[in-house]
Structure 1
Amino acid sequence: MQFKNPEVLYFLALLIIPILVHLFQLQKFVKVPFTNVAFLQKLAQETRKSSRIKKWLILCTRLLLFSAILFAFSQPYFSDKKTNKNQHTFVYLDNSLSTNTKGEKGNLLQVAAQEIIENSSEKDNYSLLTNNNFYKDINQQELKNRLLNIENTSKKLDFSNILLKISTFQKNKTNTSRKSILISDFQNTYKKMFTNVTPAFSAIKLTATQKNNISIDSVYITNENTNNFLINVVIKNYGEQQNNIPIAIYDQKKLISKQSFSIESNTEKIIKFTIQNQADFLGKITLTFNDTFDFDNTFYFNINSTKKVNVLSIGSNAIFLSKIYTKNEFNFTNYSLKNINYNILQKQQIIILNELENIPEILSKNILDFSKKGGSLVIIPNENSNVNSYNSFLQKLNIGKIKTKISDTLKITSINYNHPFFKNVFSKKVSNFQYPIIKNYYPISSKNSSKIISLENNLAFISQIQNTNNNIYYISSAINRNNSNFLNSPLIVPVFYNFAKLSFKHSQLYYRIDKENKIDIETKLSKDEIVSVSNSDAAFIPIQQILQNKVTLTTKEQPLIAGFYSILKEKDTIKTLAYNYPKEESSMIFMDVNEITNKNITVSSSIKDVFQEINKKNEVHWLWKWFLALAIVSLLLEILILKFYKP
């Protein structure tokens, strides 16, 4: 038994007063002479004994009366919590795409939301966390309204962030009884992340009844001939073998081709479609199959007419550049230092300063302006470079300075395979290849540089220098055949090809929702102009940066729904992009919560049971009414004793 006002019980000590009064209140009996003494002695004894009993009974009833009143005012109760503490329940409800499937009672997300509504308490406060929203300190009615409107989202909340939210919630709540409940399918979540410092919570797993899922994982294109191209569709099967599954490909709403396939259990398969070569193709691939998830049975991709990258080389006539920058992908131009057409500099995506001895002031100013507007730059020094001229130019770019020439024959030995520059270039690391050499070089000193390829003395041969708006690459040595045999190395092609390709990020076949995507759009905008992204259902303005002859868009928070989206400049469509849901949501790998051995985590299979247990522990059984009734009963007993008990 607990008391809301336990300080009132101190007044019980005052009950000693009526006891003392009773003990010291002496009743004097007067003796009267009478002839029959024996009879009078017996009568006096009986009267005195009856009076004492009556007084003890009255004392007991009064003590009971006062005690019951004091206990009633102290407000006693039975409960597992203290009445001066509030109950606050933190609820995480996973509304990712993987919870949009059927369980034993129906749709996993909708059933979970309904059970929370039915079993939540009006007396408690709640905080509701979903993958796309956080509702803090709400009552039951607000909780109900939020849950009635909950929908699945393509956003995935990292589990470590959920645990951090719980930890913060538990620390910030003072004078509050706190409970945390996590309701999820626990997809791709592993028990190793639960340690001894993991905050306490109750885990409730949502389980789908169907255990098979087939998803369209990705799409890529290979050229078959000049008239056709081959679309390769990667299909993944999670579960048992499936046969005769229909698959179709559309150009927007027009059916192009249809076929069926079979796939073995837990395997991956590539389905191929041959499509007539065309400039723009809005492709949609659909699977007709009833499985666990249906959101991954449709896949969008877009084949845009890719514009060529403008590449300008200033310096000696390098034949190797014209072989790398072919006409089908690049607009390559080469000028000597004497006959530069400065009018076309600002129209380029990348400029290569190819072994110039000096960098004239007029060229320096134009390159600086080109660089500030986002143009990429490759700097290759000459064997006889004027160090002062170069350093004056590099200082204006704010990228450091080069040192005097060092004459030493060195091998080019190290490739930074982890650098984004070499993403998807090598299938494996090369440990023994014929190392190219250089005879002299100009080391660069820069705070913001990263090595792409290194010399055997661990100095950079090719480095990327971080700049606010663009990419700047520095090659520390002249690469002509007199000074190096790097031109004969297999590295020459991927290096210079990526110099140009990374200068302009062409739109891809498709993008993933909830991932950071950067897209370059070749257009010119005035200072106050913007581009927007929209389709028939949604529209938003992405993060955008106006650069040299292009606008770089960054999308992550939006869009949220898979499909085709148009990039609009005012009302004109510049380009169309295709977005698909994260492929991780198609996985059928789920954590077995029953294997969790962490003492801070309790596992349950029922939302109703967890909430009822919390509500039961928070129930308060007040006893003051019973003590008040006892006080009344004791008062009535005293009245009855005084009226009817005659000593």
Structure 2
Amino acid sequence: MQFLYPSFLWALAALAIPIIIHLFYFRRFKKVAFSNVRFLREVKEETSMRSRLRNLLVLLMRCLALAALVFAFAQPFLPSDREVLKGRKAVSVYVDNSFSMEAKSSVASLRQIAADRARDIINAYGVEDRFQVVDNDFSGRNQRLVGQEEALQLVEAIVGSPASRRLSVVNARQRSALNTEQIDNRITYLVSDFQRNVVDLTAERLDTNVAVNLVPLRAVRERNVAIDSVWFEAPVPQLNQNNLLLVRVRNYGTEDLDNVRLTLNYGGQNKPEGTLKVRAGEYVVDSVYLNITTPGVGRATLAIKDFPVNFDDTYYVTFRTADKVRVLSIDDDGTPIRNLRAALGGLSVFAPTYVSGRNIDYGSVGEYDLVVLSEQPSIGSGLAEQLRQYVENGGNVLVFPPKVADVDSYNTFLSRVGAGSLQPFDEKQREVSRLNAEEFIFRDVFRNRAASLRLPVTQGNFPVGRSGRQEVLLTYRDGSAALAKYPLGEGNVYLSSSPLDGDVSNLALNAEVFIPMLYKMGISSGRRRPVAYTIGRDEVIQTNRRSASAELVYKLRGPGGEFIPEQRVVDNRVLIGLGGQVPEAGVYDLLLGDEAVDAFAFNYDRAESDLTYLDEAELERLADIPNVELLNAANQATLIGDIRERNEGTPLWRYFIWAALAFFLVEVLLLRFWRA
């Protein structure tokens, strides 16, 4: 047996007090008239012996009771296999409040049980110890050590959070807080369901000077179905068409499901989209048609029903459709070919601007969806660099080299954008024999692909060299490219091997090919607008720059409230930094002053959807890491007793308190019922 506070044993000297009292206690005698004294000596001897025995027993009880109290205050214990921690302790308790903790145990949700176990851990220590309570939010108030009472209040304040942290990151956060005060005994607790996708604890990532205790919780059933992701089949949704929206639904459980109902909310109306069958551990991709009739920003919501984990049952999406394609036509004198002007000016879907190559406002180029370069004899280095930056930032450039083009200047530009080079002009009639209907530019343009299309014919062209990123859209009979696409950055360069002049090519006269080609090139930016962003993962979003006075700033407003994000203007875009300010999933409007200029959808991270936990064997292997212990969280009394045994050994002070009370009781009984 050992003592936590052996200095209290000096109090055993107080045992002399009852002994001294006993030795110097002289009882007064009374004179009693007695008629017959013949048996007086015998009675006196017998009474004196019994009285002496009783007094000795009372003295013994008092000494034993006092000694038991001294031992109790000295905190005796039976040492365990590990060294007992003596003195003050700094304790950090991590409570996993991620969405996976919504799963149910046999009695309550895992999050509620985690809070109960955190309170048990804190109460198992003394009031002089210091505590940190940390959850996945990593808020500033949780980065300091507090007293026991305040730590219990912090546990009460924990609510569910969309954040998900790897355990190595959590442990590093704990160690940082424990180092804020000079306390030698540093202990951490991880109260979690220990999902596989967050457990990354290794000996190299832990500090051997800090004890790590694992407190695993278990759900009754590992079942969850989630909408994993949503995306449009086409690069951009189109106005007045049935746009195909693809939805991936994943079954994270171990049971096959055949009655997962999918619904779509669009335009304020809920529409059932059918019932899905999803096998255990697999996913299905379902298709939903979205008929967009209103230009601008649209929003839709897809949902399923699942219990008890339901944070991932809803997926919000936003999209933008333009009613007009803004086209900048650049040529030698600002007067484009008649057929090009007729195509751009004759249809309401285009908003054209015509400039000459010498009068270009480079600062406004980024405002256009498509730049058409035609009848431009050469491309200067300044224009070439501006077009390259424009394409990299998501623009689209369509190049028609004229018959008298300076091939060297064109090839210099084409090499900058990674396109194929032009060979000298070849005056030879060629016919386009194939149209690439699988590529976005011509996909879904013609109702009957087998029908005979009147494809362009050219009287001469610049043979185009092959490039690794080349995608041919129109092909001559000899297999060479008549029109090719080259992606660069977030945009695209489209290169025609023949001029647009009607004397050389009849492409501009072929409206059934030329008009949809121009329109879809204008909306085919490689910078695909995401239909949604992930809370906590996508911290920077972008929108097109809007002209505004210096006093106006962008604001985001949605289900989680209204806030002013960080904002930075780069070229023709505004980069908006979220900084973890989006707390709740939903659609947030981007406001410039009081005007809503854009909208973005935010969804919770699906990392918490996978309810796959470490099994017992894997947890035991984690416990093999030095200074890592595995605790049993199933029983409250067992957990508290285990913690106290690890910190104090097997405490015996309670037994000495009960012994002291028993000795006092025996003393009272002796004095009450044993008459001398």
Give the TM-score, by structure 1 length.
0.60
- 1:507·1:577 contact (CA, 8 Å) conserved in 2? no
Residue 164 of structure 1 deviates from its aligned partner by: 2.1
Return the letter of the residue paired with 1:299: Y
> In structure 2, do the counterparts of structure 1 residues 385 and 2 end up closer, same or farther at CA, with 3 Å as the change threshold?
same
The structure-2 alpha-carbon separation of the partners of 1:553 and 1:328, relative to structure 1 and needing over 3 Å to count, comes to farther
Tell whether the 8 Å contact from 2:559 to 2:584 is kept in structure 1 after alignment: no
Matched, 1:578 2:598: no
Q: How far 1:160 moved relative to its partner?
A: 2.7
Paired residue for 1:599, among 605, 619, 626? 626
* Residue 613 of structure 1, aligned match among 642, 656, 661: 642
1:493 partnered with 2:493: no
Q: Which amino acid aligns with 1:587?
A: D
SS of residue paired to 2:144:
strand
Query: In the TM superposition, what is the alpha-carbon distance from 1:97 to its structure 2 partner?
Result: 0.9
Per the TM alignment, residue 514 of structure 1 is displaced from its structure 2 partner at its CA by: 1.0
Mapping 1:29-44, distance limit 5 Å: none
In the TM superposition, residue 166 of structure 1 has moved relative to its aligned partner by 3.9
SS of corresponding position for 1:182? strand
Q: Following TM superposition, by how much is the alpha carbon of 1:600 offset from its aligned partner in structure 2, in angstroms?
A: 2.7
Query: 5 Å matches for 1:405-416?
Result: none
Match of 1:546 in 2: 569
* Residue 611 of structure 2: aligned partner: 588
Pairwise mapping of residues 456-475 of structure 1 onto structure 2 (< 5 A)?
none
Kindly provide the CA deviation profile for residues 6-36 of structure 1, in whole angstroms up to 9, marking residues without a partner as x.
7999xx9xxxxxxxxxxxxxxxxxxxxxxxx
* 1:145 CA displacement: 1.3
The reply on whether 1:276 has 2:258 as its aligned counterpart is no
Answer whether contact 1:350 1:376 (CA < 8 A) is retained. yes
Equivalence for 2:245: 231
1:473 corresponds to: none
Separation in 2, partners of 1:329, 1:496:
26
State whether residues 164 and 607 of structure 2, in contact with CA within 8 Å, keep that contact through their aligned partners in structure 1: no
Secondary structure of the structure 1 residue equivalent to 2:119: helix
Matched, 1:563 2:555: no
Match of 2:103 among 101, 104, 115: 101
Query: What secondary structure, in the 3-state scheme, does the structure 2 residue paired with 1:289 have?
Result: coil
Deviation of 1:299 (Å)? 1.6
Q: Which residue in the other structure is 1:78 paired with?
A: 76
Whether the 8 Å CA contact 1:375–1:547 is kept in 2: the answer is: no
Residues 495/507 of structure 1: CA separation in 2 closer, same or farther (3 Å cut): closer
Partners in 1 of 2:353 and 2:255 — Cα distance? 57
Query: Which moves more between the two structures, 607-616 or 214-223?
Result: 607-616
CA drift of 1:116 comes to 2.1
Residue 181 (structure 1) shift: 0.6
1:601 Cα deviation (Å)?
1.8
| Residues 592-618 of structure 1: CA deviation (Å, up to 9, x unaligned) | 323423233212231744444333455
Q: Percent identity?
A: 19
- Number of the residue aligned with 1:428: none
Displacement of 1:202 in angstroms is 1.0
CA contact (8 A) 1:481 1:487 kept: no
Residue 288 of structure 1 is matched in structure 2 by: 305
Deviations 1:191-248 (A, max 9, x none): 6641356234111122211222111111223479954233322111122111223222
Looking at structure 2, the residues matched to 212 and 297 of structure 1 have their Cα atoms a distance apart, in angstroms, of 13
3-state SS of 2:189 partner = strand
Amino acid at match of 1:115: R
SS at match of 2:321: coil
Q: Which residue of 1 aligns with 2:129?
A: 124
**2:220 aligned residue:** 209
1:517-555 per-position Cα deviation (integer Å, ceiling 9, x unaligned): 422134222223111111254112122123555432233
Q: How does 1:264-343 map to 2 (within 5 A)?
A: 264-279=279-294, 281-290=298-307, 292-306=308-322, 312=328, 335-340=355-360
Match of 2:534 in 1: 512
Counterpart residue type for residue 529 of structure 1: L
State the distance in 1 between where 2:408 and 2:290 align: 54
Contact 1:566 1:577 in 2 (8 A): yes
CA distance in 2, matches of 1:485, 1:275: 38
* C-alpha distance in structure 2 between counterparts of 1:99 and 1:288, whole Å: 18
Instruction: From the superposition, tell whether residues 230 and 191 of structure 1 become closer, same or farther in structure 2 (CA, over 3 Å).
Output: closer
Task: Return the offset for 1:586.
Answer: 0.9
Q: Deviations over 1:83-106 (max 9, x none)?
A: 973111111111111112211220
Once the 2 structures are TM-superposed, how far is the Cα of residue 137 of structure 1 from its aligned partner? 0.4
**8 Å Cα contact 2:145-2:178 kept in structure 1:** no
Q: Does the 8 Å contact 1:301/1:578 carry over to 2?
A: yes
1:602 partner SS: strand
What SS is found at the alignment partner of 1:272?
A: strand
8 Å CA contact retained: 1:190, 1:591: no
Distance 1:438 1:351 in 2: 20
- Contact conserved, 1:263 with 1:269, CA < 8 A, in 2? yes
Separation in 1, partners of 2:642, 2:557? 48
Q: Provide the C-alpha distance between the structure 1 equivalents of 2:394 and 2:321, rounded to a whole number of angstroms.
A: 22
Contact 2:589/2:598 (<8 A) preserved: yes
Residues 595 and 116 from structure 1, CA distance in 2 versus in 1: closer, same or farther, beyond 3 angstroms?
same
Partner amino acid, structure 2, of 1:495 = P
Distance 1:85 1:329 in 2: 79
1:448-492 deviations in whole A, cap 9, x for unaligned?
xxxxxxxxxxxxxxxxxxxxxxxxxxxxxxxx9478555993285
Counterpart-to-counterpart distance in 2, 1:183 and 1:242 = 31
* Runs of 5+ unmatched residues, structure 1: 13-64, 391-401, 403-409, 416-434, 441-479, 630-647
- Match of 1:529, SS state, is coil
Deviation of 1:266 (Å): 1.8
Structure 2 Cα separation of the partners of residues 569 and 180 of structure 1: 47
2:76 alignment partner AA: F
Q: Give the secondary-structure state (helix, strand or coil) at the position aligned to 2:104.
A: coil
Q: Please state if 1:88 is matched with 2:90.
A: yes
What SS does the aligned partner of 1:523 have?
Answer: coil
Match runs of 1:354-503 below 5 Å: 358=380, 481=462, 484-486=465-467, 489-490=470-471, 493-495=485-487, 498-499=490-491
Deviations 1:563-618 (A, max 9, x none): 12111122222222221111111112222323423233212231744444333455
Write the letter of the residue equivalent to 2:110.
Answer: L
Aligned to 2:516: none
* Residues 198, 335 of structure 1: alpha-carbon distance in 2 compared, 3 angstrom cutoff: same
Distance in 2 between the 1:601 and 1:488 partners? 53
SS in 2 for 1:136: coil
TM-score by length of 2: 0.58
Q: Match of 1:509, as an amino acid?
A: V
Alignment of 1:99-178 (within 5 A): 99-120=101-122, 121=125, 122-133=127-138, 134-169=142-177, 174-178=182-186
> Which consecutive unaligned segments of at least 5 residues does structure 2 have?
14-62, 400-404, 425-460, 473-483, 493-522, 661-676
Q: Give the partner amino acid of 1:498.
A: E
Q: What is the alpha-carbon distance in structure 1 between the residues aligned to residue 641 and residue 366 of structure 2?
A: 70
Which letter maps to 1:241?
D
Q: CA separation of 1:528/1:376 partners in 2, compared to 1, >3 Å: closer, same or farther?
A: farther
SS at match of 2:491: helix
Question: Aligned partners of 1:591, 1:185: CA distance in 2, in Å?
Answer: 8
